[in-house]
Amino acid sequence: MRSAPWRLYKPQDRCTARPPGFVPNGNTMTKEGIMKKIIVLRRIFLVFAVALTATLVLAGPAHATWQWVHGNSGHIEYKDRFTNDNRFEFGWGLDFNLNSGTFNWVHFAVPTIASTTQGVRYIKVRFYTGSVDAWVSAIHIYDGVNKVKVQEGSWSNGYKTVTVDLGYVRSFTYGLGVSVQIKAGVESMSHRIIFVGAGANFVNK
């Protein structure tokens, strides 16, 4: 008798049963398996989105603003330590020649955000001196009448940008003042000084 073209059922075939979504070669997935994976990924994305939104709300909006004042607005303290014909306020800054063997102070009033939620840590002063015999020797920072920081050094011979670090973010209530001490030696060298600007970085506390 001729056998049937199909394989007859055998009891041991029960052991070949597999759960839904199973594919023997492991390279593809059934439609049911793909849908389950998509659902899991959507849940993970939702949890991540909620966590990120909560973090941004609690942190508050980021804020950082540099407030600058131009160098040509600086005020020289001792008017008798340079001649009137060698002191000028130009578009590029306060430009003058300090008398040999003298010192002076130049003061800047930086636009101030008076807020308990914002403050300053970093302050910058940019200037130029014509030689090593004319230099910036100190920078004092004020909150109104209160001196809050002194930074000393010897910066000279070309353009320089000095950064003053207050050490922490400090609020300024009565106006931020920057006072810069300058000195000139007695050598036959240039004592020209140019102040370009002074600024403070206001950030959230």
Model pLDDT, residue 9: 44
Model pLDDT, residue 29: 60
Model pLDDT, residue 123: 99
3-state secondary structure of 105: strand
Residue 48 banded pLDDT, cuts 50, 70, 90 = low
The length of the chain, given as a count of residues: 205
Model's pTM, two decimal places? 0.69
Average pLDDT, the chain: 84
pLDDT digits (tens, 9 = 90+) for 13-26: 454 555 455 455 55
Ranges of H-type helices in the chain: 31-59
Torsions phi, psi for 74 (to 5 deg)? -70, 150
Model pLDDT, residue 172: 97
pLDDT digits (tens, 9 = 90+) for 120-168: 999 999 999 999 999 999 999 999 999 999 999 999 999 999 999 999 9
User: 């206001």: which residue's tokens?
Assistant: 202
Domain locations along the chain: 11-59, 64-204
Neighbouring C-beta atoms of residue 21, cutoff 10 Å: 14
Least confident of 52-66, 115-129, 153-167, 186-200: 52-66
Residue 96 banded pLDDT, cuts 50, 70, 90 = very high
Where does the chain show beta strands of DSSP type E? 64-70, 75-76, 87-90, 93-97, 103-110, 118-129, 134-143, 146-156, 158-170, 176-184, 192-204
Residue 74 has pLDDT above 60, yes or no: yes
Residue 68 has pLDDT above 70, yes or no: yes
Model pLDDT, residue 28: 55
Look at domain 64-204 and name its CATH class.
mainly beta
Least confident of 52-61, 100-109, 160-169, 187-196: 52-61
Model pLDDT, residue 41: 74
Taking the C-alpha atoms of residue 134 and residue 130, their distance in angstroms, rounded to an integer, is: 7
Model pLDDT, residue 57: 45
What's the whole-number mean pLDDT along residues 83-108? Answer: 89
Q: Considering the chain, what percentage of its residues have pLDDT values greater than 70?
A: 72
Residue 38 banded pLDDT, cuts 50, 70, 90 = confident
